[in-house]
Structure 1
Amino acid sequence: MARISALLLSLLTGQACAHTFIWGVFVNGVDQGTFKGVRIPAYNGQNGKGGYNNSPVKDLDSIDMRCNVMGDIQAHDTIKVQPGDNLTFDWHHEIRNDTDDVIANSHHGPSLIYISPDPPTENSFVKLWHSGKYESNPFPQAGKWSTTSDIAKHFGHMNVRVPEGLKAGHYIIRAEMVGLHEGDVSYVQNPKRGAQFYPDCVQILVEGDGEVELPEGVSFPGAYSYEDPGVVHNVRPRLSKL
């Protein structure tokens, strides 16, 4: 297993075309190990020249919107947590260290985190956290967005707490970053553009004697629509004609 993990790591760190995904998880500040519990997006060929992880996903009706490409395949291990624990997802682009750019500096957009029982069912994903544009700057600047001005500037760290009193059992955390740099039109209007979604799932086992069950949530695919203003959005709007 160690040899397989080392080989996987060497392949991933050599991908100059890789997009952003979760490389590790900290529980209350303790690193659980590279890729432990993470459903790593599938490696895809790109015109026979190298490849990438996470295409990204742009088709809102695709099953890849749930946990990315081949994301319904179980990871080899699961992270044990307690209700109330703080989870830090360590996002990276090409290599897991603080020199990595995490996500391209043009990929402005929101970040979101959902939780679902594992395996998920209809409307089982419940949102735990989200952050979008939190500061406007004068035209033509895009302003400050969660992906580029928060997560990337904090070395790829995205934080969330396991709900207090959550009932013990197997869950998946669906964390996501969204790039709106080509989101001025929808994917169905122009498949070469459209919002870029970077979902990734982490397997957790909640322990303890909690009794709180998750409420009804949303489904992936299905939670987002091309009519949603947050899906089709121009991060650098042009001045209106006089």
Structure 2
Amino acid sequence: MLKLITFVSLLVSQVAAHGWVQEITLGSKVYTGFLPNTDNAQNPPPARIVRRIPDFNPITDLTRIDLQCGGSPTYQTAPAPLVGQIAAGETAKLNWTAWPANHKGPVLTYLAKAPEGVDITQWLPGTDAVWFKIDEVGKENGRWAASDLLTAASGVWSVKIPENLAPGQYILRNEIIDLHSATTYPGIQFFPSCAQIEVTGSGTGVPTELVSIPGVYTPESPGIVWDIGVEGDYTPPGPSVWTGEV
């Protein structure tokens, strides 16, 4: 019995130490996220707008393709069968599972536009430079995006789709970077989640600063090696935020 209690306690602590996007609200419509603990047990898995992940474990290798949307050395994520819809200028709300207080770090959001004539439910960006950042929060005034701000918002991270963004199909990539063991590399932990969305509207904004994932981060990038006990603000790694200017 003691061994069983110990095992259950260990399992609970592991689950509590990691997370995923369990629900997404696009405008006023709610979509269930990919739920690895239950969806992976079904064959085929339920149809989602969120690309499949194998489990709740982090990505720690900056060179792996899994850094893009989640995965493992023996499992790579694949396009999802569904696409959610949101208008440019509306807010996407990403509801994460409970995030532990000691797993501090930034929250970032990227978009990648599917090529013309390519259905996003069939598209894998690979290592092409197609990603641009639309939102980032690190540490400001002593408060971390994760877990301080995320917990204060009941686990919901809200990000506005740029008002002038050109319509089309995009991958919406929301990412928590956990710095609690990032004093050396490898040590940093990435938790990405990718949803497929159709952006509507009459915008004409097309970003010019595009990056590849993997490739956007290196062990030498500012913010990849970090001590969360250091005083002062923290600026997330990667490109600057694109706000929609043409």
- What's the TM-score once normalised by structure 2's chain length? 0.72
Q: Deviations over 1:69-113 (max 9, x none)?
A: 156411121101111111111111xxxxxxxxx212110111100
Which of 99, 110, 133 matches 1:103? 99
1:135 CA displacement? 2.2
Stretches (4+) displaced over 6 A: none
> Identity rate of aligned residues, in percent?
29
Which of 120, 128, 135 matches 1:129? 135
8 Å Cα contact 1:169-1:207 kept in structure 2: yes
Whether 2:227 is the aligned partner of 1:222: answer: no
1:22 CA displacement? 0.8
2:95: which partner in 1? 90
**Map of 1:82-231 to 2, 5 A cutoff?**
82-92=87-97, 102-118=98-114, 119=123, 120=125, 122-136=128-142, 144-187=143-186, 194-231=187-224
CA distance in 2, matches of 1:105, 1:77: 33
CA distance in 1, matches of 2:221, 2:202: 39
8 Å Cα contact 2:27-2:86 kept in structure 1: no
Distance change in 2, residues 1:156/1:63 (3 Å): same
Whether 2:19 is the aligned partner of 1:20: answer: yes
Distance change in 2, residues 1:34/1:186 (3 Å): closer
8 Å Cα contact 2:24-2:93 kept in structure 1: yes
Aligned residues: 192
8 Å Cα contact 1:29-1:88 kept in structure 2: no
C-alpha RMSD of matched pairs (Å) = 2.0
8 Å Cα contact 1:90-1:157 kept in structure 2: yes
CA distance in 1, matches of 2:165, 2:140: 30
CA distance in 2, matches of 1:113, 1:221: 15
2:69: which partner in 1? 67
2:37: which partner in 1? none
Unaligned ranges ≥5, structure 2: 1-10, 35-47, 115-122, 232-246
CA distance in 1, matches of 2:51, 2:28: 21
Q: Deviations over 1:23-73 (max 9, x none)?
A: 11112354234544111311xxxxxxxxxx232100000101111115641
CA distance in 2, matches of 1:216, 1:24: 29
8 Å Cα contact 2:65-2:213 kept in structure 1: yes
CA distance in 1, matches of 2:166, 2:139: 33
1:211 CA displacement? 2.8
Partner SS, residue 26 of structure 1: strand
8 Å Cα contact 1:171-1:203 kept in structure 2: yes
- What's the TM-score once normalised by structure 1's chain length? 0.73
1:122 CA displacement? 2.2
Unaligned ranges ≥5, structure 1: 1-14, 43-52, 93-101, 137-143, 188-193
